[in-house]
Structure 1
């Protein structure tokens, strides 16, 4: 058997554990006389995951979603059974509503809503001819799924449990090491080229992945919850590094472009470069020395600024100070996570993390996903009812489930083609088992041995991320196609109808998803990019109170979502030219201006407000895919700088610094700023 990455011992152990849990659930279901034991076995394979935290989270949410779906079944079916059209519409509306809500919640909790939706489609439509059994069937379904969950959790915790904590620590160490390498490249002046851009994008995508992975660790008991708190605190600081590196790279490039950097400036950068390579306690002690050196350099520049390059270097010293603070916090929290100590910084940052986290939600895509499952249920149910095909309901069920579980994909058609091939393999395997193997088996132990010939290899495929889809489709489809019960059926007509209904549902899902839900990678990336631009517009228009941590979390989340789609974009796409890290920096500087502009003089406030309106117009032009005018914006920014150049109060200095940041972010190709007021002051 070919397993991507090679056959590993942990894959075999995982497969054996899953098989034992499935067979234990099957045996108990038979002993208890449950109506459909295969639901218990199927649940074990559906929630199977090598990590115990992932199993626990998925199990809890699967049980909650099934229970909610069962309640809706009991409410809908008996009351609408004599009005088939209304029943179909009610099921379609409920399923689409649940999928819509699930699409807006990007945490593991979204599984509750999705499952609550398609559970009604899976079970409710099969009760049309026997509405009086709604309560007993719904109760039995909850029991069967709960049994599978309990068996999977029990075996996983009892036999060599694999915790996510150590794996998470390894991934965090890798992220910090990659970030340290990128930081050293930026400080040494290596800030251009596709490799550097790819590295920044990869770090953003990895940060999003780490956040999702961390949520699973919290389900591993008290130790897991403590590790989750530490990780949330560390991630709060990790995400601050990327916009800082983006700006330091641009400032470094601008300083070199406008003239040679001074020896003292290069020396300070190299000192921080060397410090970033250190990992022990001495690095934290050296951080204080670096802070003092940067503060001394900044004070010297504030007293002797003599041109645009000096303002750029002054801005650089502030960003270097921020970088030292953030990186020192990362090292403190990394050591805290390794030692288990409860650092005060951890609790403060974990609280901020919970308050500031805001993930991207796309209402348009959620509506498309909900519409696709609604259309599928209505159309497939109409064909089922008017054709009189007894097994037509199974086609509705399979199609609804596929539309739900693949709803997050931009274009599910390629995956559905793979699913077709894998379903075909599962169907042929089920055919051999049902009519060649099962009739020869007498007893539960021989049955377990026969099933293990397929389910154990499928479980190994299920353990490897690259072959997960193959293992999942073969194992789950085989279990449900065989409809493992108290007695094996040899009715070929029933078996053939089930297989035909399964492929009919797959075909219906493919057609609906391709016509209603499919969105190109470029279109999807552009929607995410525009969402980020809208955040900047909100900041410039001061429509609502935005916190810097909120802005950072929101923009980097969007960047992390765009990165996987970049490989599918055509050459010359405008999305490839966009830089959300620059947009994030713009948003942060705008927030700084909004917080400090009220301390300016009335004429200066009007000038700043006009500048913010121009900036909002610039981003509105981007939203319309029209060409922007950075030269005009550079002139407006220079006017603001000239107005504030002689101010010495704290608030005007902050606004001036933000204007320098905006000019370096928005107009990197523009000539150096011409600061007339500064020249006049120096020659007077």
Structure 2
């Protein structure tokens, strides 16, 4: 089941996790807690090969549990006499917590999600005994805290695995691939479709790398500094991608014209050893900043090509310095500046519509489950509501969770069969803690190996966690078949209810998910063109690159005939950046040039609105206003006109890369010098 086979690190992780779970179970038993299996289950819920990930999830799980426990004490005693009101209050609270958690794409989101479904897990069991709400809530916090402490302690003491080496390896691979793509683009040897696919893949890898970086800061003070450097490095890494997109277009637009000698210098610089490249960066920048003649269209293209090459050299210099910082542990002023400018959560894409729909689906599934519970009088139906609330919360980030739920159904049935065998055949023959722990290890240790590998994580997680909670191990073994069967049926019923509700309300295909991300990028361009305020170019770039990284897996799942394959968020990003530059220059232009620039912005916003509505748009329709504005600004002296003209050249290249050169008047060099 494990790609590449079982490794020693997988076995060490599994043994460490099992030891932590059994230690937590023993401590909870010794302390006389009512549900000691919660301590053992918590260990497997937060288990992760990376010690920082365990710490972060442990902290956030404890915080979410405390918030949930506080809400239980607040809601259950007050509303226990009115089951309908209590059910509505818990459902609305869970929906609110899920909505907030989906707006936060950092590990911190786990606090809000857990704060919601903790109320569902514990609150419904207290309806018949509201007076014990405080005692049960405190006990639940204690059980989970014991599991957290055991997992964190053993994770730090027994062969801990740090994120630093993993990040260093993945960053080196990313930069090597990006350098190879950069050289191919500058050579003009990369096919446009293949180059676009490679840029998209690099964007997706950068987004995936952010998830590992987010865990680094929980490994200690030195690791937090590493995390800051990694965030700064990733910020520069992703900015390379739109540059490569434009450089490829500029290279193609020049056709058979002789290439500037600086192009070969940059190619050689990219291939040079790191120390040699850093030493020669300033001299290369001086060559790239040499004045060019912008009197013709090819001259304008050369001027822009040299500017983008200068930007590429600056970005690669930053990347190499930051990577050297990470390897050596030194800190340069560059890292401090970039870390201060980097915006974390505010730069990430947020889909309020899907967050609201997910929260609404959770409220509805809990409402349906509670309605059946109250109507039927079946006390175990509360378990169905609990299971449904967990699944709808945990799987809310997946476009179509139904296939995952089908797999979970099979794994839950397997866990139920294992729990039945343990509870009624194996455990009754055992006496004492150590024999019980040894018997549990026959299943939990192999499951821990599966947990260590992303490809098999779901299998290991579902079997291990479900087995622990289905057994409900306490100080005395229960052999009540009716209770076991009813609890198992309730869990299966909750899963089926969640599956049906999610299929009806929340499941969207890969094409719809990708289209939502593309539309969000188009909205950003429209806002940049027509919005009342000047947006931050770096913020727009970070958000659109994040959307690209999220869209790539969805685009990969589409059939080859899908029209979305022709979409290129990097081009849209370039359009947004040039729109902002044009708007900044427009205010200082003469009246005629200012009106021409405004006409370009209006036509561009109209075209993007057309694309957003689903109607095909012809980019060639933008050529007349673009070329008219370009002719006016080409003949207008002054720095604002030069900036606006450069932005129009960038817009023309991004929107109409294959268009014929415009007819430009000869500028008055005495006026523009």
Q: Shorter-chain TM-score category?
A: over 0.9
Indicate conservation of the 8 Å contact 2:54/2:152, yes or no: yes
- How many Å separate the matches in 2 of 1:356 and 1:669? 37
Mapping of residues 50-69 of structure 1, within 5 Å: 50-69=49-68
Q: CA deviation at 1:490?
A: 0.7
8 Å CA contact 1:641, 1:656 repeated in 2? yes
Structure 2 residue 262 is the aligned partner of structure 1 residue 261: no
The CA deviation at 1:234 is 1.1
1:85 equivalent in structure 2? 84
1:356, 1:550 within 8 Å by CA — same for their partners in 2? no
Query: Does 2:277 correspond to 1:277?
Result: no
Question: Structure 1 stretch 187-196 or stretch 488-497: which is displaced more?
Answer: 187-196
Residue 574 to residue 44, structure 1, CA distance change in 2 (3 Å): same
Change (3 A) 1:480 1:355: closer
Alignment-derived partner of residue 579 in structure 1:
568
Partner of 2:506 in structure 1?
A: 517
Q: Distance in 2 between matches of 1:566 and 1:681?
A: 51
1:356, 1:549 within 8 Å by CA — same for their partners in 2? no
Q: Following superposition of structure 1 onto structure 2, how do residues 107-186 of structure 1 map, counting pairs within 5 Å? A: 107-186=106-185
Who is 2:293 aligned against?
Answer: 301
CA distance in 2, matches of 1:285, 1:387: 77
Equivalent residues of 2:250, 2:305 under 8 A apart: yes
Count of matched residue positions in the alignment of Structure 1 and Structure 2: 671
Q: Distance in 1 between matches of 2:668 and 2:336?
A: 49
Offset of residue 368 of structure 1: 1.2
Per-residue CA deviation, residues 453-477 of structure 1 (Å, 9 max, x unaligned), is: 0000010011111100000001000
Aligned CA-pair RMSD: 1.5
**1:355 Cα shift?**
7.1
Unaligned runs of 5+ in 1: none
The secondary structure found in structure 2 opposite 1:239 is helix
Q: Partner of 1:636 in structure 2?
A: 625
Aligned partner of 2:439 in structure 1 is 450
Q: Which residue of 2 aligns with 1:432?
A: 421
- CA distance in 2 between counterparts of 1:481 and 1:32 reads 22
Seen in structure 2, the aligned counterparts of structure 1 residues 434 and 64 have a Cα distance that, compared at 3 Å, is same
C-alpha distance in 2 between matches for 1:355 and 1:136: 39
Shift, 1:357, TM fit: 4.6
CA offsets 1:322-348 (integer angstroms, 9 cap, x no match): 111111111111111111111000000
Counterpart CA distance in 2 for 1:212 and 1:318 is: 33
Tell me the alpha carbon deviations over residues 285-340 of structure 1, each in whole angstroms, 9 at most, x when there is no partner. 211221121122xx1324xx3x3222112111111111111111111111111111
User: Does the CA-based 8 Å contact 2:292-2:302 persist in structure 1?
Assistant: no
Whether 2:47 is the aligned partner of 1:48: answer yes
The alpha carbon displacement at 1:436 in A equals 0.5
Counterparts of 1:101 and 1:601, CA distance in 2: 48
Q: Which residue of 1 aligns with 2:648?
A: 659
In structure 2, the residue matched to 1:530 is 519
Residue 388 (structure 1) shift: 1.3
Which residue number in structure 2 is paired with residue 22 of structure 1? 21
Q: Which residue of 2 aligns with 1:570?
A: 559
Please say if residues 68 and 114 of structure 2, whose CA atoms lie closer than 8 Å, have aligned partners that are also in contact.
Answer: yes
Q: Do the aligned residues in 1 keep the contact of 2:106 with 2:345 (CA within 8 Å)?
A: no
Matches within 5 A, 1:230-379: 230-256=229-255, 260-262=256-258, 265=260, 267-296=261-290, 299-302=291-294, 305=295, 307-354=296-343, 357-379=346-368
How far apart are residue 364 of structure 1 and its match? Answer: 1.0
SS at 2:218 equivalent: coil
Question: Could you state the TM-score of these two structures normalised by the residue count of structure 2?
Answer: 0.98
Identify the match of residue 441 of structure 1 among 415, 430, 439: 430
For 2:588 and 2:344, the matched residues in 1 are separated by 28
Does the 8 Å CA contact 2:292/2:299 hold for their aligned counterparts?
no
1:358-412 CA distance string (max 9 Å, x none): 1111111111111111011110111111111121100110011000000000001
How far residue 207 of structure 1 moved from its aligned partner, in angstroms, is 1.1
Report the Cα offset of residue 485 of structure 1. Answer: 0.8
Give, in whole Å, the separation in 1 of the partners of 2:257 and 2:139. 75
Q: 2 CA distance for matches of 1:676 and 1:301?
A: 14
Report the Cα distance in structure 2 between the residues aligned to 1:398 and 1:356, rounded to whole angstroms.
30
1:10 to 2:30 alignment: no
1:222-275 Cα offsets, whole Å, 9 max, x none, are 11101011111211211210000000001111112xxx1215x2x322221121
1:394 maps to which of 371, 380, 383: 383
Report if the CA contact (8 A) 2:635-2:668 is conserved: no
| Alignment check: 8 A CA contact 1:183 1:245 kept | yes
Q: Say if 2:478 is the partner of 1:489.
A: yes
Q: Contact 2:451 / 2:458 at 8 angstroms: preserved in 1?
A: yes
Alpha-carbon shift at residue 681 of structure 1 (Å): 10
Change (3 A) 1:400 1:180: same
What TM-score does the superposition give when structure 1 sets the normalisation length? 0.96
Report the secondary structure of 1:300's partner residue: coil
Secondary structure at 1:247's aligned position in 2? helix
Change (3 A) 1:356 1:503: closer
**Contact 2:634 2:665 (C-alpha < 8 Å) held by counterparts:** no
Give the SS at the match of 1:124: helix
Q: Specify the SS of the correspondent of 1:11.
A: helix
Match in the other structure for 1:227 = 226
- Asked if 2 retains the 8 angstrom alpha-carbon contact of 1:642 and 1:677, the reply is no
Partner of 1:108, secondary structure, is coil
**Aligned residue number for residue 505 of structure 1:** 494
